[in-house]
């Protein structure tokens, strides 16, 4: 907002324009367009994770595969909180980027917050880039190490000088594919804001009831809701309406 208040190369919006931008940001329009999507539809906080942490075997198996099949070319990331000053060895690439690898320090900072750093590996090598939850077999994480003969890209083979994965029936290939499939199934259950059947978060419903937009008896577990229509009703409730001259 400082950039449109006159401090950034003299760029200064009119009050109405400034307020429009402010309300756009406040309504979450920079992402989903509604606060209803907050903390919903999120899966896979880190590569070797699976939706159910009570099942450690798949997680351990995936980590072992990454070390054995990918470790020669890709550095094993370390948490800077436990390894201060650590950087990837020369010529190595961080893959996959772990959760909170670069975490902001300080009280009151959420665990998912992190510093933005130059040449941030998350730009190209986070699970959000490497995984394809719509078509798991099309994930970059699988196509890059898979040989062209087996239907992959052979990207890692070209860099390493040898095939990393040569078949989709390879047990290691299946170990990498498994958490992607599991998270895809999880996402299909909990729904992202742009998916049919999406349900808003409980806090959104609570506040919409508090402001009288949703009826007190609204039940999130089964009552239908269009969050964008609900948002419009909320913003409309804040509009100023002039009093009638005939009003007492």
pLDDT digit string, tens, across residues 118-171: 666 566 677 778 889 999 999 998 999 999 999 999 998 877 788 899 999 999
Gap between the Cα atoms of 216 and 154, Å rounded? 57
pLDDT at 39 (0 to 100): 83
- Higher confidence at residue 19 or residue 101? 19
Higher pLDDT, 118 or 113: 118
Of the chain, the end-to-end C-alpha distance in Å amounts to 42
Is 165:172 a contact under the CB 8 Å cutoff?
yes
Return the pLDDT at 53. 40
Residue-wise burial string across 46-71, b where 16 or more C-beta atoms lie within 10 A, e elsewhere: bbbbbeeeeeeebbebbeebbeebbe
Counting residues of the chain whose pLDDT is more than 70, the rounded percentage is 69
pTM, 2 dp: 0.66
DSSP character at residue 217: T
Question: Which tens digits make up the pLDDT trace of 190-203?
Answer: 999 999 999 999 99
């Amino acid at each position: 907002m400082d950039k449109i208040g006159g401090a950034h190369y003299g760029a200064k919006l009119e009050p109405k324009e400034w307020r429009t931008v402010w309300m756009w940001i406040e309504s979450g329009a920079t992402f989903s367009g509604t606060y209803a999507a907050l903390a919903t539809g999120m899966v896979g906080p880190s590569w070797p994770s699976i939706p159910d942490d009570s099942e450690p075997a798949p997680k351990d198996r995936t980590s072992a595969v990454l070390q054995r099949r990918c470790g020669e070319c890709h550095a094993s990331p370390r948490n800077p909180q436990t390894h201060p000053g650590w950087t990837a060895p020369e010529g190595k690439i961080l893959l996959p980027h772990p959760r909170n690898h670069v975490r902001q320090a300080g009280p009151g900072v959420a665990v998912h917050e992190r510093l933005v750093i130059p040449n941030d590996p998350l730009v190209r090598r986070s699970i959000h880039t490497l995984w394809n939850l719509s078509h798991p077999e099309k994930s970059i994480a699988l196509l890059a190490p898979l040989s062209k003969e087996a239907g992959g890209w052979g990207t890692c083979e070209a860099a390493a000088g040898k095939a990393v994965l040569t078949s989709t029936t390879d047990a290691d290939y299946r170990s990498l594919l498994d958490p992607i499939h599991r998270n895809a199934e999880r996402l299909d259950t909990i729904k992202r804001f742009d998916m049919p059947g999406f349900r808003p978060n409980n806090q959104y419903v609570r506040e919409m009831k508090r402001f009288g937009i949703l009826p007190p008896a609204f039940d999130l577990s089964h009552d239908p809701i269009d969050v964008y229509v609900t948002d419009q009703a909320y913003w409309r409730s804040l509009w100023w309406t002039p009093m009638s001259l005939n009003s007492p």
